[in-house]
């Protein structure tokens, strides 16, 4: 599941492959961009911002994409068979003389003026993996609504940008609270913020996410995806439930013994 660490790694790979090169192919397969052509423009950089990707090109333009739940960018050498999904799932193709970047299942793809990027990402909180990371500001935003469940507050990208559903479950486990605990009742909210940054930082270069430090198969995450399986800390069966507003409900995992309800 793409979260801040996956997006950071994707941006790093795309930047290394495309930055400084002229685009020899541009194919944006969404209706509103069907007539737009970036061919002949030089790619300046690819920058991550929370879960967003900003691909900047000459002429003051930025291709803004978001991976959502299942999106991905794949890089291919000339003549190499594309892999990442069937052709009908391709939403964007950016090609240079040496590499071709293909965006699959992108739920958001837009072309905007680089000077207008703030309209797309200006609402985001401090980026856990960005140069603007500010733990004090992230904590201030997180605590702005003390009654809000911590699980919902962590997923709100306006608080701190980069946490997704996997890290939500893992962070709540590590600070030993259930996701429905009000933010204002957290014993050490600053520890939660520090852990979030530490986990994403540790995983940004890994293809297999790990929050436990255990490299054995099946033991890489404390509770996420472990419904009915023993908790890695105490052995109690892990539980799961849907959480969040109706339109944004996702499955959250917790250990009923390690994470007592308030």
Q: Which residues are catalytic?
A: 2-3, 51, 250
Q: For residues 244 and 156, is the Cβ–Cβ distance under 8 A?
A: no
As beta bridge partners, residue 65 has 53, 109
Alpha helical stretches, state H, the chain: 4-18, 117-121, 135-142, 150-155, 165-174, 189-203
- The CA distance from 84 to 134, in Å, is 35
Classify 145 in phi/psi space as left (phi over 0), alpha (psi -120 to 50) or beta.
beta
First to last CA, the chain: 29
């Amino acid at each position: 599941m793409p979260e801040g660490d996956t997006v950071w790694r994707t941006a790093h790979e795309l930047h290394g492959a495309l930055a400084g090169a002229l685009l020899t192919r541009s194919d944006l397969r969404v209706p509103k961009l069907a007539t737009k052509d970036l061919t002949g423009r030089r790619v300046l950089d690819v920058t991550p911002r929370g879960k967003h990707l900003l691909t900047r090109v000459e002429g003051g333009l930025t291709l803004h994409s978001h991976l959502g739940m299942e999106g991905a960018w794949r890089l291919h050498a000339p003549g190499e068979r594309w892999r990442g999904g069937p052709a009908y799932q391709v939403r964007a193709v950016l090609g240079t003389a040496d590499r071709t970047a293909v965006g699959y299942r992108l739920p958001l793809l837009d072309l905007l003026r680089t000077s207008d990027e703030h309209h797309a990402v200006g609402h985001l909180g401090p980026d856990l993996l960005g140069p603007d990371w500010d733990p004090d500001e992230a904590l201030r935003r997180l605590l702005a609504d003390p009654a809000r469940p911590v699980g919902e507050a962590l997923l709100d990208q306006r608080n701190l940008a980069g946490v997704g559903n996997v890290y939500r479950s893992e962070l709540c486990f590590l600070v030993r609270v259930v996701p429905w605990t009000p933010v204002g009742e957290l014993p050490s909210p600053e520890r939660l913020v520090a852990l979030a940054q530490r986990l994403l930082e540790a995983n940004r270069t890994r293809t297999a996410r790990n929050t436990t430090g255990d490299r054995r198969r099946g033991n890489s995450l404390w509770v996420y995806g472990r419904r009915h399986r023993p908790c890695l800390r105490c052995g109690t069966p892990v539980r799961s439930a849907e959480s969040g507003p109706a339109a944004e409900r996702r499955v959250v995992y917790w250990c009923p013994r390690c994470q007592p309800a308030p």
